[in-house]
Chains A and B, each alone.
Chain A
């Protein structure tokens, strides 16, 4: 029997499935899903393709409403969604960025090996857990006044470096150099600032984590070497967090404001969570300036956590972090909207690219790729779940021409939180992982149960689709040794 999705999805190349414009009245471009055939059953059953179709309603959207291979059901936009709109007559949607603005991933390398780290992993994980505040509503150790918060919001990572959290080189290997230029704190509500002040320098909860990992496979030795990754067994640190309550409040405020704006501009939307306003009108500009503040907050957040991670390694291994080779490989944002130049039908256009659970993936030679990676392409960091593995990829020319320079961002959930919790207890998960040599320390055992491996798609399957379809290229894989979670 033919699969039911065949009535809607038309194959459009290797791992590419098109939803035609005729599928739903109001779509102005087709949908395009990057997936293996075996992923389509779930995409169909979950109805997430409806969300891909809904995004195609956004005024000014060009080419396709895109879904990366880790696509799963979101609210309004799908998670794993990419949409580019023309700046001259298109819209910007806060829902296309998400509540956790500039949720992202940072990778640090070390010159340590798994054999050197394993005997000390308990002390290391315990020290990281106490140095990096985590958990629901966690508050940090950075004391800020509102005036100082404004400097964080305007300067991003540079603020952190000037205050002793990290070193100048870190900024050179951070997307946007850790600072979006249009940030304007006057466009941020006092509520967002009130949520943001105590939470700077915290990991938070949910799927956020800090993981000590070991490289277990290298696919491209030369590219890995450029990233300072030389051998299997080499220890890395992956940090996954975002803009905390600050970003959540910015999004909450602007979904409401842009909902009113959408009515004012007569924009017809199939889902209120897709609230949007023209990029060039006041409401759209205001959101971009507030979003930039939240993006900068998130980069400072990851920068401070980087600093404490280095301090912990220094204490545990009795050497300076420089001696331990703790340099930053890269830092990516995977919930963000940016004004970018892309070639559409042979013509250069200025677009607002929304990446909602999607990672920028620029090819070798692109001017926005840091000098050291100019010949290999921008590193793309894909966290898996705590029981499996994470990947390092690079961007490609195919991504540039087909996905506005974007790829997947993670594994993508397949199981609801309640179902995950019913099937396994947090303490059992921690024990099972310990038996496999993975030490987990979490603020809440319930939260751990909700983040069980079984709740996620296999990240390997997701990354394989990204690699096979050509929208990014695999460089290396790492497996967890120790994890701290909220």
Chain B
């Protein structure tokens, strides 16, 4: 079941954070990823024309969320791909496997609003409260 609000942007002096809501951890990871790309561009203008497969491991769930978002930032920066769909096939406390869909940047079609340097561990949180909430701060 989807919760009503997918994510929100946290207003922060120097940088930008996101708070993502989900019925389960998988949804929280998906929506965190969507929130990240919504900081970069208008996702309504991004098509699903190519995909990448991701597999990551980390010592704990919070670190895994940072690793997941940093992997997406890496793929965007190195390959110039904007992603909008995140199909997670496996997610446990220390590992994630996903196929993600998006489109290569086309300057005529996509305005790139801001660059995101990295996801940080600062104020990082995953909490259970009527579903799950994840909070991540990015360096912009």
Contact = CB atoms under 8 A, between A and B. Distances in A.
Are chains A and B native binding partners rather than an unrelated pairing?
A: yes
Interface of A: 46, 72-76, 79, 98-100, 135-137, 139, 191, 194-195, 198-199, 204-206, 245, 248-249, 251-252, 255-256, 259-260, 271-273, 275, 413-419, 443-444, 446-447, 450, 486
B14 interface: yes
A486 B9 CA distance: 22
Contacts of B38: none
A486 B123 CA distance: 28
A194 B78 contact: yes
B77 A72 contact: no
B12 A416 contact: yes
A447 B111 CA distance: 10
Given A137-B80, A256-B63, A417-B140, A446 B113 contact: yes
B42 to A, nearest CB: 10
A417 B16 contact: yes
Contacts of A100: 117
B12 A255 contact: no
Contacts of A205: 112, 114-115
Nearest to A76: B122
Contacts of A417: 15-16, 114, 140
B118 interface: yes
Interface residues of B, number: 35
A272 B60 CA distance: 13
Contacts of A245: 77-78
Given A136-B40, A137-B80, A256-B63, A447 B114 contact: yes
Nearest to B111: A444
Contact of B12 (A73, A195, A248, A450): A73
Majority secondary structure of chain B interface residues (helix, strand, loop or mixed)? loop
B111 A75 contact: no
B126 interface: no
A450 B123 CA distance: 22
Nearest to A414: B13
Given A100-B117, A252-B118, A255-B121, A72 B78 contact: no
A308 B122 CA distance: 38
Nearest to B71: A191
Contacts of B40: 136
A193 B83 CA distance: 22
B47 to A, nearest CB: 18
Given A136-B115, A206-B114, A419 B78 contact: no
A272 B124 contact: yes
B70 A259 contact: no
A423 to B, nearest CB: 12
B53 interface: no
Contacts of A136: 40, 112-115
Given A75-B122, A255-B121, 5 more contacts: A79-B14, A205-B112, A245-B77, A416-B12, A416-B16
26 contacts: A74-B14, A75-B120, A76-B122, A99-B117, A100-B117, A135-B112, A137-B112, A137-B115, A191-B74, A191-B78, A195-B77, A195-B78, A198-B78, A204-B115, A206-B114, A206-B140, A259-B121, A271-B122, A272-B124, A275-B121, A414-B13, A415-B13, A416-B16, A447-B113, A450-B114, A486-B115
Interface in B4-55: 9, 11-16, 40
